[in-house]
Amino acid sequence: MSENRINNNEQLALDDGRRVKVLSPGMMVFKRFIRNKLAIAGIIILTFMFVFSFLGGVISPYRQDQVFYKTDSANKEYASAVVNNEYRFFTPDGAQLSTLVRANFSRVVKDAGEDDVAFEADGASWNVHRLGENFYAIGTAKELGSVTMLGKIVDVKAKPGEEISDAVKDAALKAVQGGSLQFEADGQSYMLTKGKAKSYTLGTMSEAGVASLLNFNAFSGEDDALVSGYGFRRAAELALRSGEQTFEADGEAYRLDSDGDDSAVIYRANSDEAMASVSNVIVSPMTTGATLEMDYKAAVAEAISQKQMAFEYVNAAGETEKHTIRMRGNNYIIYTEQQTYLIDMYAAPSMAHPLGTDDHGMDVLTRLMYGGRISLMVGFGISGYFGGWVDTLLMRFVDLFNSIPYYPMMIIAGAIMDAFEVPPYTRIFLLMAIMGIMGWTGVARVVRGQILSLREQDFMVATEATGVRVSRRIFRHLVPNVMPLLIVQATMGLGSIILTEATLSFLGLGIKYPLASWGSIINAASNIYVMTNFWYIWIPAGVLIVLTVLGFNFVGDGLRDAFDPKMKR
């Protein structure tokens, strides 16, 4: 044991072979590599990028395609209104006005200046009697005779074959003297149609309906049938046009609260609850299939009739809503502030979203994590195409590939993938393959030059002189000496590949939505408004690209110096 202790403490001579520690070539390269501070910085940067991209996406609570929403107030189009200029026709039960009768009515009312006009339609004579402003009674007439004024004398003559009672003559006399063209006698309606000079044609009138520009809306579904009835509408509008505040229909009394000749609210005589509104304004919802409350339509009609540009409305929940009215052509558009479920676009950084959200309402930090995966995968995927000795066999094609313009071909490839609607994940690998095929020639030239140089070295001449077969010379001696160069070239080329992918994605030729890459994220900043107002959308992605490219370049420089330390001299 004492002898062993003495041996352990033995001082060895400087030329003693036991003092020499032999390091393997790989360990020597590693030692030189770790002494390079920039190379270590590059390793740290790349380690962070890989952890950030691949582990960060796992621990992130969000998906890269998850869209976030917010509830916000927006001034939205709620309803539209138009002042009605088309006549509406109402007829008693069982009666009907044909399309031809309605068309002729509109024509003669538009062209005639008199209150009462006549026209022919459907083989019958029709009379139009003006009951009020834009309110007419339409009926068929049967001629009974004539009424002529001779000074103060009124002469009533019956048509041959017809009889006119004294009551009808007296009523006709009073109607002419009073300036009325319609009267009733013996329970029958009669009409005077003005002729030449001071002569009139007397006839019976059978009312077939009324025409009006007003719109009636019942506030309750229980009153729909009543309010839409011919008798109710005729009596209500006749009272409105005559300036009366009450009327009767079907034996029941009603009252009118009128805002003018074209707007009113109808109540039952013994109730303060409104049952219907009358207006010449037609109000419709902007959303297909939606319905508007009758009192809301009345509020809109009242606001328009009063020429108001804004009004307040208390909805069914008791909430006061503010509405504004704007003209669009001949229509009124009603806007209101509504709580809307919106995509949370360009949200500012917050605890929930440290880097805010993008133009699709997606979390920017999460997309940066997933985008790093794509960018790094594309970079390493391309490096796999940089083979070894196979490049020398393909040198005949190098000049051919060098003559093909790179970016025009990538634009064509991107357009083809767009035309065939290639899925986003498939597009990634196709993009890697196309970039590899288009970008291998530069490395191929460098490798070929290195091989030509190594082939003339003494160790290769010695292998040939000793009779080593060709395949062994290539794989045992040539390829191992070329591999350091390939590793350095591939490592330094990864940065440029990531930049190329970012450029293609920025131009819309690379990774497609909803997948993210750092280049496609920066593409959102192609809008000057986004670039100047939402820095958190594009600056983080740009910083990550710069750091990653620097990291690969630092590592590449470190490997180059480690494999060939003489280059630093």
Query: Tens digit of pLDDT for each residue in 363-377?
Result: 888 877 776 666 565
Q: Which residue matches tokens 């996406």?
A: 57
Q: Which residue matches tokens 């180059």?
A: 560
Domains and CATH numbers, the chain: 36-68+348-568 (1.10.3720.10), 88-212 (no CATH), 215-341 (no CATH)
Give the other-Cβ count within 10 Å of 511's Cβ. Answer: 27
Average pLDDT of every residue of the chain: 76
- Predicted pLDDT at 493: 61
Q: Please state whether beta strands 182-185 and 153-158 pair in parallel, antiparallel, or not at all (unpaired).
A: unpaired
pLDDT average, residue stretch 314-326 = 86
Give the other-Cβ count within 10 Å of 298's Cβ. Answer: 23
Beta bridge partners of 75: 337
Confidence of residue 201 (pLDDT cuts 50, 70, 90): confident
Q: Are 230 and 224 in contact (CB under 8 A)?
A: no
Residue % of the chain over a pLDDT of 90? 1
pLDDT digits (tens, 9 = 90+) for 376-399: 655 444 333 333 444 444 555 555
Minimum mean pLDDT among 29-43, 244-258, 301-315, 380-394: which range?
380-394
Bond preceding residue 514 cis, omega within 30 of 0: yes
H runs (alpha helix) in 362-478: 364-383, 390-393, 398-402, 406-419, 424-439, 441-455, 458-465, 470-472
Say how many residues make up the chain. 569
Residue % of the chain over a pLDDT of 70? 75
Residue 138 has pLDDT above 80, yes or no: yes
Give the residue, 100 or 465, on which the prediction is more confident: 100
Q: What does the alpha-carbon distance between residue 516 and residue 455 come to, in Å, rounded to a whole number?
A: 46
The Cα-based distances of 135 to 153, 194, 207, 229, 480 in angstroms read 32, 19, 14, 16, 104
Residue 420 has pLDDT above 80, yes or no: no
- Predicted pLDDT at 253: 92
Residue 511 has pLDDT above 80, yes or no: no
Q: What does the alpha-carbon distance between residue 199 and residue 148 come to, in Å, rounded to a whole number?
A: 4
H runs (alpha helix) in 276-344: 294-305
pLDDT average, residue stretch 413-425 = 75
The Cα-based distances of 315 to 207, 281, 339 in angstroms read 41, 20, 15
Spatial neighbors of 290 by CB under 8 A, at least 6 apart, are: none
Minimum mean pLDDT among 85-94, 318-327, 380-389, 397-406: which range?
380-389
pLDDT average, residue stretch 539-556 = 81
- Predicted pLDDT at 442: 63
Spatial neighbors of 288 by CB under 8 A, at least 6 apart, are: none
Query: Which tokens go with 471?
Result: 């395949």
Residue 452 has pLDDT above 60, yes or no: yes
- Predicted pLDDT at 502: 66
pLDDT average, residue stretch 23-39 = 73
- Predicted pLDDT at 3: 47
Q: What is the DSSP string of 532-554?
A: HH-HHHHHHHHHHHHHHHHHHHH
Q: Are 249 and 235 in contact (CB under 8 A)?
A: yes
pTM of the model: 0.47
